[in-house]
A and B are shown apart, each in its own frame.
Chain A
């Protein structure tokens, strides 16, 4: 079956399957969410108003048989946190199921006239709308459980917690994992509030009996997926019992700390004395010692890397899944908290309430800097999360993210770009990632141009993290390649093997070309990625963003970061090189 667009209009509660117009036909994943938002959402709309849309798209290869680690779902819209276009993607069950139902994208638009809340069920027979009033106020753990009780075939549940209902700017979108835990998040940029503004609490996707993904050139697809799988299984980072599989993404904690680039206590130091206690090695040790939980967990069926984990508490009961490097940095190091159990308790709260863990941890750090509680006060941090659960005015402020909280409490050290706070790499000590934070179409974001691979990890190539020469080109190359990978449905972590193993890179491209019936090769990746970036950049320009928004927070320019005592010393003209091509030629 050829792919269809599923348009769900909440104003009149209708769902229609539309043919994909020619202009979108080549896209999937991020490319498709971006193309649709670019065409259908006026950049000047209010992100929470009636005219914003939420677009949900599986990647090119999602749902195909045995494409490795290909269950990523892209979510797009205009972001309430940044005011820019946004694509945030997530693992979990949804991508493969949408792909197998033949759905290229869901466009969720409008607002119910009666002001009621709904949840939506999608299967091979179509779409049904259900009253969600009994789900209101419930956390995602309960929502996932209830949806599996009510609907057969262990469906995907895409949902928002209470903060999404409140339209808070740090509301993420949860996707359940194979154990029906709500830990997989399209967290960044507040898209949960965009879903909440449509009055949709959850979207349940059951693919049983679905037509499956059409593969135009099966031979090429099979050849591609084999090459890619081989590269993933051979590479030291992604192979079974390799660093990612054993220790998860939090294997980076000790290493970035060693490099002096671990943001600590609201970005005041690049090293945290408690890093080892919240590292991936420690997660692994706790799982062994407590004989509960697991490492090497897959966030969706068919992931061969399996970087996720399920973290157990002292009594062996499960606290949260997963503890990622980003989570442990934001809720740990950046808050001065060195207790892994508390990092897990805070993660559980975020996952249940529907919050992005990066933005939430960084917000708690702002609250600490403002003196609401002390740095390192883990009990106090949980008490602040309770304010969000109780929906107090303070809770509302905290659920709005770093920039808002800093403004309310008079904090001037605010690590944000375009309203979105920085992830777990200090740009003063690792300059290339600063180029990505400053210029990304998404606000400060590491995944959109992960120069850490060559700057710290020596993957692909090795470059000096402390210099800025050549970093504009490096960041752009990563941003463009990432925009492509974000469209495939493959997890971004396939980037590690394919940066080093050319055959793996070819395999990724061939598997996509096989699905789509295309004749493209590795050299087309950057150009296709740049087409996506260009739409995003133009949307942002029309929303009022210009190069003056591609800048680092002021305090990073004058405040030396220990232990290397470096400042952000990159000239603005260097940053402006990254997107200069958009208006050339």
Chain B
């Protein structure tokens, strides 16, 4: 419906500008950036602190799988507490805060509205993080709800939700006051993300308080909430960002608005129905799992349209990955989205799920989506946005290059170790004659592989955090020309 109205003149993020209007537009953008800079810097800065914490926790949990004695004598470091602490720090600390920072900036830019009373956004972020800190503290102290994916106890979750709603409300206001119609595809995804998160998070945590929700329904609610978080909220923000950055940096419109629109509607319709695959084979009515598998298969429409659209937009411009850090990270992320989605589709099929369900393959899939896709796109976005907020360019292309190498190889090593380890143990357990101890022993090498991946990720994150810190102190190249790996024009083949 919307697509037909917008075609055939595709609207892109960079509004076509008559030469006389260029300066006016530049001034408007500068004013918007100035209004956004306080809260967005706060979101990014705190997100990166959470990323560092998640790195430490993720590393510890990984080591414990091959050296179970590691930090085992201190209850707060036991695997069963470190792991959920890691998951929450990564998902609600790093991913959500970086995602909200990018979302707010994108909404302000794309709706062409300055942010009024930015202190509300900062307050929102403070409440969110106060709740999260409390929640993770309670997990480490053993006071979790005991529901996988919703571990954070109610009181802390309320603080988080309140903080989130302040941010969500401000996002909605930016949309309400927009001066740019029609809304760009990224805006659709962002509005969807803001709405879905509030309701999923709120209802899921509420269900734990409701005495009427018990048994497998409670597990189902948790699965639904986790799936919505990853496959609606996180995915929507990641795609919104990719749809903005790729056309913007290579300076050409999105290939097809029809495709973008079809992809969006398929996404919003089917993604929210996929949650029960997390309990495939479990003690639930079969129709639920069948419904979710069907929805996962139908998502092929979105996978195909989004992937084709982004790839066709890049067509002929792939050399940009040699020049632009933003493009290098974002294209890596976009390709990971395609891989993650196709893998997710195949793994949901009963014949594969039977083997892979309770293995590390699941963890590989989560990291493919949350790290290789989403986090890489966020890195790309931060490389793009930050110079516009602080007024200088990134100091060192070498540091960016090292960041990329470390996290790309780190994520690759981690994900491949988890995936191959998962397949190996799944195949072994499918043979009833194979004893459990043998499976554990064979798994050690994959756990060591995962830990190696973590070491590389840690290196990348430290470099990135340091570079970010320099930017906060305005230590960088003079503003204007972006810091590139290689000047455009000097092709490197």
The answer to whether A binds B is no
Give residues in B with beta carbon < 8 Å to A.
none
